[in-house]
């Protein structure tokens, strides 16, 4: 049983199942429960319908909830995969029961599955909160490997929501700089790269993504692929952006990949009437957005359908709210109707620190003679040599402590130079200041 559980944790599902099938029904009750846990999770990894059948047989044999906390967690995982009503409660109570029973692995695994499933369904605020609480619990238990997983997942959800991008970059870069489990490294890399790309540090984001493993673990491969495509699109390289649909059930990420595909085709001017997803498993805001793209392809007069899609994204992902409003403004030919959504997009992008989308929105506004003051070279010339040096290192993705070490100054001095640069450049975030410094001083 120990061998089967270890193989399961390594992702070697077939070997794990083979290892435990020799355990007979007449074995000790706990051993049978442990066997059924591995069999159930093995089936879940390969065939969700088969897992549902096994779950019914498991409940008949062990009752519900079963005494074995690991088996209880596995049954909750099957419910989560099928999104049965109350699956969140089942996972949370399974984690609590496992923790109370001393089964740390089942407790942390259930908490992790809760975070990942919430994030996959676009419930990013809930996922981030659960990840933060789980990370705190792991810190108390000195469970470093699991703690870094949860911290990285929290950062990913925060970055995608378009919140605290400076803080995300700082914390994610510091996390990536450590020795991490592959899953934690993937989430932290995706969070840092997306926040950097949205904040205008595109070179740093590309370099970070270029350092990822050739074959990242399956659970983060889709995240990294989408962020790479999104960074290329933000950088004005639609030909280099090749978003692919992620494997497995990932409603939010699937929708984001499809939306990026629409923007890539729009920018490449090679026909943006991409086929609609037939019966695809998507979150509501993504469904509304893709429906709007499809509608304007058929009838440009239906451009207003982007507005309810933008509203649907508001509490999920601000960057996607901006993109919906931007699409409305770009497709609308009447200036009196194009400017209002673009002004809303400008406001949201500026508040969230989405520098690249803000620039694109302002370019769209200039088409309708709506202009904003632009920062001239004088602001850059007002920077001291040390401020330029610090901001260049920030733009390269270096954390504060490393900048301090490289320049032989204290962390407090580094932060002082960053704040001074932000003030002189009129930037609201350190990421924006770094991007502006690169632009002005090249």
**Cβ proximity of 344 and 323 under 8 Å:** no
Q: Report d(CA 184, CA 216) in Å as an integer.
A: 11
What 3-state DSSP class applies to 65? Answer: coil
pLDDT of residue 310: 96
Q: Report d(CA 225, CA 286) in Å as an integer.
A: 18
**Cβ proximity of 135 and 151 under 8 Å:** yes
Closest CA to 66 of 100, 94, 24, 103: 94
Closest CA to 123 of 315, 270, 296: 315
What burial letters (b/e) apply to 256-294, b meaning 16+ CB within 10 Å?
A: bbbbbbbbbbbbeeeebebeebeeeebbebbbbbbbbbb
**Cβ proximity of 253 and 219 under 8 Å:** no
Closest CA to 242 of 224, 260, 256, 254: 260
Q: Is the pTM of this model over 0.85?
A: no
In degrees and rounded to multiples of 5, residue 237 shows phi and psi of -125, 65
Q: Report d(CA 329, CA 338) in Å as an integer.
A: 4
Sign of torsion, CA 92 98 99 103? Answer: negative
Question: Residue 394 class from Cβ within 10 Å (0-12 exposed, 13-18 middle, 19+ buried)?
Answer: buried
Using alpha carbons only, give the angle 47, 251, 353 rounded to the nearest 5 degrees.
145
Q: At what angle do helices 182-198 and 202-210 cross, to 10 degrees?
A: 160
Closest CA to 191 of 213, 220, 234: 220
**How do the pLDDT tens digits run along the chain, 442 residues long?**
889 988 887 778 899 999 999 999 999 999 999 999 999 999 988 888 899 999 999 999 999 899 999 999 999 999 999 899 999 999 999 999 999 988 898 999 999 999 999 999 999 999 999 999 999 999 988 899 999 999 999 999 999 999 888 889 889 988 988 888 889 999 999 999 999 999 888 888 888 888 777 677 777 888 999 999 999 999 888 888 876 777 667 899 999 999 999 998 888 876 544 555 555 678 999 999 999 999 998 888 899 999 999 999 999 999 999 999 999 999 998 999 999 999 999 999 988 889 889 989 989 998 887 866 555 444 445 788 888 888 888 887 787 888 888 887 777 788 878 888 888 887 877 777 887 777 665 5
Q: Report d(CA 302, CA 333) in Å as an integer.
A: 12
271: DSSP letter: -
Q: How far is CA 134 from CA 137, 152, 299, 397, in A?
A: 5, 12, 48, 27
Closest CA to 94 of 118, 68, 112, 69: 69
Q: Report d(CA 269, CA 255) in Å as an integer.
A: 21
With a CB cutoff of 8 Å and minimum separation 6, the contacts of 250 are 120, 222
The helix or strand, by DSSP H or E, that contains position 399, with its residue range, turns out to be none
Tokens of 75: 């049954």
């Amino acid at each position: 049983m120990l061998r089967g559980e270890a193989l399961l944790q390594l992702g070697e599902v077939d070997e794990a199942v083979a290892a435990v099938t020799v355990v007979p029904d007449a074995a000790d009750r706990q051993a049978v429960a442990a066997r059924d846990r591995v069999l159930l999770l093995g089936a879940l990894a390969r065939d969700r319908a088969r897992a549902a059948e096994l779950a019914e047989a498991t409940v008949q044999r062990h009752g519900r909830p079963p005494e074995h906390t690991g088996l209880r967690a596995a049954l909750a995982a099957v419910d989560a995969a099928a999104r049965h009503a109350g699956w969140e409660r089942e996972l949370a109570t399974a984690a609590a029961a496992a923790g109370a029973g001393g089964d740390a692995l089942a407790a942390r695994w259930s908490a992790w599955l809760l975070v990942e499933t919430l994030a996959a369904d676009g419930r990013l605020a809930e996922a981030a909160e659960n990840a933060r609480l789980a990370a705190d619990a792991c810190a108390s238990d000195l469970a470093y490997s699991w703690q870094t997983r949860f911290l990285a997942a929290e950062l990913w959800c925060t970055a995608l929501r378009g919140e605290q991008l400076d803080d995300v970059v700082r914390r994610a870069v510091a996390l990536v700089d450590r020795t991490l489990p592959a899953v934690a490294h993937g989430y932290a890399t995706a969070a840092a790269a997306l926040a950097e790309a949205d904040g205008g540090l595109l070179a740093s984001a590309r370099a970070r993504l270029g350092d990822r493993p050739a074959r990242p673990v399956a659970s983060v491969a889709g995240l990294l692929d989408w962020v790479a495509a999104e960074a290329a699109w933000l950088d004005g390289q639609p030909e280099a952006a090749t978003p692919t649909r992620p494997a497995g059930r990932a409603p939010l990420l699937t929708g984001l990949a499809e939306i990026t595909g629409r923007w890539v085709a729009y920018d490449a001017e090679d026909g943006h009437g991409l086929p609609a997803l037939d019966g695809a498993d998507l979150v509501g805001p993504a469904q509304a957005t893709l429906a709007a793209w499809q509608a304007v392809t058929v009838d440009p007069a239906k451009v207003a359908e982007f507005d309810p899609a933008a509203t649907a994204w508001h509490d999920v992902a601000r960057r996607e709210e901006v993109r919906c409003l931007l699409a409305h403004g770009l497709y609308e030919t009447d200036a009196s109707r194009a400017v209002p959504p673009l002004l809303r997009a400008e406001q949201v992008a500026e508040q969230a620190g989405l520098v690249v989308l803000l620039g694109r929105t302002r370019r769209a506004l200039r088409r309708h003679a709506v202009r904003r003051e632009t920062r001239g070279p004088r602001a850059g010339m007002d920077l001291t040599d040390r401020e330029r040096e610090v901001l260049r290192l920030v733009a390269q993705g270096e954390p504060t402590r490393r900048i301090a070490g490289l320049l032989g100054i204290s962390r407090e001095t580094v932060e002082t130079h960053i704040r001074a640069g932000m003030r002189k450049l009129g930037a609201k975030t350190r990421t924006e200041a770094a991007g502006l410094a690169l632009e002005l001083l090249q």
